[in-house]
Chains A and B, each alone.
Chain A
Amino acid sequence: MPPTTQPEITRHEYDVVVIGAGGAGLRAAIAAREQGKRTAVISKSLFGKAHTVMAEGGAAAALGNANADDEWRVHFRDTIRGGKFLNDPRMAELHAREAPERILELEYWGALFDRTADGRISQRNFGGHEYPRLAHVGDRTGLEMIRTLQQRVVALQQADAAELGDPEARIRVFAETAITRLITEGGDGDAPGRIVGAFGYRRVDGGFVVFEAPAVVLATGGIGKAFRTTSNSWEYTGDGHALALRAGAGLINMEFVQFHPTGMVWPPSVKGILVTESVRGDGGVLRNADGERFMFNYVPDVFRSQYAETEEEADGWYDDPANHRRPPELLPRDEVARAINTEVKEGRGSPHGGVFLDVSSRLPAEEIRRRLPSMHHQFKELADVDITAEPMEVGPTCHYVMGGVRVDADTAASDVPGLFAAGEVAGGMHGSNRLGGNSLSDLLVFGRRAGMGAAAYLDGLGGRPDAGAVVDRAASEAAAEALRFLKQGDGENPYTLHAELQETMNDLVGIIRRGPEMERALERLDELAERSLMLSAPGDRVYNPGWHLALALPNMVLVSRAVTAAALERTESRGGHTRDDHPGMSPEWRRVSLEVRSDASDRVTLTRRPVADIPAELLGLFEHDELAKYLTKEELPETVAADEAAEEGQS
């Protein structure tokens, strides 16, 4: 084992370093490799274990297999509606256009989606999607996707082995390796320097690694571990968000954190674990302690016309969607999460502080086991609940961050030359609230674009910059910094600090927010930031989880600061950001994205950026009445023009 005193650093040279081996990371790596770039994939856990495996419901793509009326424009419209018009329209457009191709490509690589009667990929209903649109495999779609991408990487390695004699000649996976610093060169006060490498450590033996590479793709996922109740795994410590900030990139929309409406609430040890939205898509209903289907009371004005008003109408929709409006259980996630929160707060909750999600009285037991096998298994094993016979207890759980690195839609490039981002760590695509199913397709569409973007950036560079000296210097600095936690023997226990951070974020910057509470949160975060420098991890460097947590905590604190600062600034409620003290949605705020940057001491600053306008031909997809609920007067197109365009778009 390497001594703790003399950091020995393994050096690698690659064209593209992809940080993160989930859906976005693997898709980016495949794209970069297919462009002939030597690519490294850095995975914090074992290869194939990334958080993508947790995705259950499916991948949204307007294939039109289940309903021939579906097409990318409808998907685009649903996405914008779900995001409450704050989405980057170009990203939403690319996503809706390219998702079908990406899904079919997965199938071509060996993914086995559920089928329709005529042998195509079957699609299921999901919250916020007008048509059945989610390509799925039971309720384990994420696993299918990660496995397929993993096997595609292996296939490429086999091709390289045959051609070049070495399977890792052009694509190599560094499992159980975490990046703690991006290395940049040049740059001045205003403009960030360009990427020349990345530094990190191997979990298995505690050894340090440095990658000299002109392009880095961030695909690190989200930030959920900053919250107490979360569906996210330990990996979601906001590494990519923090790395980007420290490298000089900006994050946008960080105030928008999605609380999935249905997480398990009991037993305490599994609190937060996800209950897939497919339960509702396949007929499950939400009831309060009085047995009332309360979602009918929570349909907001902007969605009034699309959702059923009676139980009969709602129940008719599953079999005959053309002549019925959708059940309100399938409202976008932010609406359902808030409704559950209110029911519990007003005393109509279930025994363990959630509400009831019932599918047992809606489908035959056999059908439930077939459609929702892993949910059945999960409740049976973890909560002793048989979902075919009794309702589940569910409540909101921190699930996804809409905010992330501000990137160019077409290339996934950030402000920092050579730095790209895709997947959850990138911001803009989902606006203020992500629709279920749009995440898996997002990973594929923008993962690929990031890999191609990085490859194109390299081609544009001409030669490979010689940055060896810069990289080595930064690496030895970073190594000394990382070792610090092992040496300060009497510092704080990282587990305690982590628990305090989670309390702070959950209680003060959670699903319902208030100005004074968030001010208090910022103060606490300042204090936590200071304490996070004084952590101590006993033991040596070999697979030492205390040390790993200590290294991740400053990232979580920084990201929490970004979330809190942005949430305090935005004085309205929209999507994944609900202000008790500013309950309304403001057309003026709709035009603004908040961008967070940080300084050398991890302090964050905010700037306001205009949200790009939706191109006129796409704006025409929406009814004038609907637009009037979101946009300011001067943004609204001429009434007549709008109506005409709407007809055109729907024909």
Chain B
Amino acid sequence: MLNGTTSILGTTLAGVAQHAPESSHGLVEAAGHGAQAVSVGAAWIGWIVLLPVIGCVMAGLAAALKINSKLPAWITVGCLGGAFAVTLTMFLGFDSIAGGDAFVVHIYDWINVSWIGAGGEPQALVANIGFYVDKLTILWMLFVTGLGTLIALYASEYMAHDVGAGYCRFFAAFNLFVVSMSCLVMADNLILLYLGWEGVGLCSYLLIGYFYKKPSAVAAAKKAFIVNRIGDLGLSLGIYLTFVHFGTVQYSELFASDALQGYLAAAGSGDFAAIPATAQWIALLMMVGAFGKSAQLPLYVWLPDAMEGPTPVSALIHAATMVTAGVFLIARVYPLFLASEYALPTVAWVGTLTALLAATIGMAQFDIKRIMAYSTVSQLGYMFAGLGMLTTTGAAFHVLTHAFFKALLFLCCGAVMHGFAGQLDLRKLSGVAWMKGWGIVGVAMLVGCMNLSGLPYITSGFYSKDMILAEAFVTPGYAAIGWILVFTAGLTAYYTFRVFFRVFVGPRYFEPGDEHHADEHSDLGEHGHTEGDGHAALAHGHDAHDHAHGGFHPHPPGWVINLVLAVLALCSIGAIGLAYIETDHHGWVGSMIGESSAAYHSPYAEAAHHAHVEGVEAHAVSGPAGSGTPSGLFGMDAHTAMIYISGGVAILGVLLAAFFHGPVGIQGLLLGGRREAATCRMDRVARLFGPIPRWAENKWYVDEFYHAVLVTPLRVIAHLCHLFDKFVIDGIVDGAGKLPRALASLVRPSQSGQLQGYAAGMVGGIAVLLFVAAIIVLIGGGS
């Protein structure tokens, strides 16, 4: 019956889409796969969650047993690798489990409450530990577990200086993060998703504050947690409203509910007035949650500070997986967003503005890890823009490619940070790629930078970004977004290659940071360098003689880090192939998304895509379908135009970076003029802009603004509450305590401790008793 309903609705929606083309984003085509979830007994899927749980427990046990080796890391790598293998099995066997449909695996009952509602009808709140698996789930789980495994491997070496209790703590939280993320992604209901959502927040807090003796790390952890709370409030309210309005929090029931399908039909015809405001508010509230978790305006401020955590954490949690939870949330409950008139346009604009703002800040930063953090915020903005413009495929594809190349970039930065004792200032490092042992890092960094910049054809980042940009130009009303995003793409290319030209090429030079690891890891034997190597590298540096580093020698990464970097670089490049398979569905990611709850495509994009694939006659088809709206640019279809536009912008950004920051010679593409680490042409140019670069370097004073507008008033209120509590509440409580005390002080003198006092009390008592007895006897005798 469900299948019947949805198929009818699907055709209805498709028909509606034909008849109401002028609606802004209501032109939807419901694939409706999400509604067809069937329950299966494939409980082995639970191992995806259970294996990291085991890893977490064993890491905790290792801490309890005071194990002083890398054992927790290998346990983690093993468990996460196992989880990845199970995920892969699930992916490959997806068609055989439930015939290619989404399915629900019930593990055990968690919340199952039923009661009779106010109106007399039975109601139930059912939220079980169960997994809702469709291809969206699989897509996310593949890179969560895969990247988790790789980054755990990387961390095994990166965290080696902390072997002991800290090492165990790190990997316990790492495993717990994967558990929570798996819960979030695979949950079959919104409450389990919320559990995972809070779990990843907790792990993020724990791992940002990993160096808990560092005040800045503690502050950053608190900031991340508190800012996320604001978003989480929105999400929890959204979940509550979902339950209130739809009576269920289970995806399978929610997507199949008649109410939601009715709203989708109404939205398809642009008749948003027919949808209750409650239902529209759900998406807006959940959007707030997504903004918090995925660091969008105005809640992005926590993510740059989160770089206080160890770099593997930044790579996995704050670049690849957790911050995409917001994207996942919106994609997962996409039908709810479609049923809201303002949610998706808001998402698109917020994403776009975030992308621009973060890119401008990123341009002016000097800390390479922070630059990567702002680029993450910026790229997340692209994803949200994609979601808002109805190209869930583009957003998901960008999530996937971004996960690889941003993890790669972070891990490269981490390797530099690790090798140069925490040095991250791009003015104090130069020519790292030419130092001995740093070749693979240099190449991997180049691959990552090219992907982030989106150089045409040769990078996967280009294809995913292109999909979003093209969507902006083919969807009516979003051209402004398109131009902003294109401009941002240029900025992205510039600041990305700024890092590359400053740090990895040019004259060899370094100043070590202040995180000296006393043992220099020479006892671990994994770094393949001796002191002689360090001296050799220094001896050939141009400026090496001028700087005495107090015996410091940079140590290049060991084989583990190099291996992970190489694998990630290959993945980043290999992801290009995903755009060229299954082109009928906009690439492999499209085929995945197309069979999930996020499966909605703008007909414009559909048309543009076909035009891109099939050529001119498709273009002719798209014209009438667009019915007067622009479906392309400069006479080309959007995708073709994007190859030239965004590709050109990206190359321009790279050349500008080379000109302003590149070293002299071929290393700077023959454009650069930098001869030393600290100064470059940009310094002179920046002066022309007056104070603006300084403002950008200070993040446009957003933190200060928040502090003045939000934190200070709250602090004043808190102080007032404190005073109220101290004087009024405490006064009442203390008064309640003091009253008996005051009463007792009346009789306390009787407890003088004087022996005779007590004796006198006894005598008095006896006298009174006898007196009473005498009276009674006398009166009784008299009567």
Chains A and B belong together in one complex? no
User: Which residues of A are in contact with B by a Cβ distance under 8 Å?
Assistant: none
User: Which residues of B are in contact with A by a Cβ distance under 8 Å?
Assistant: none
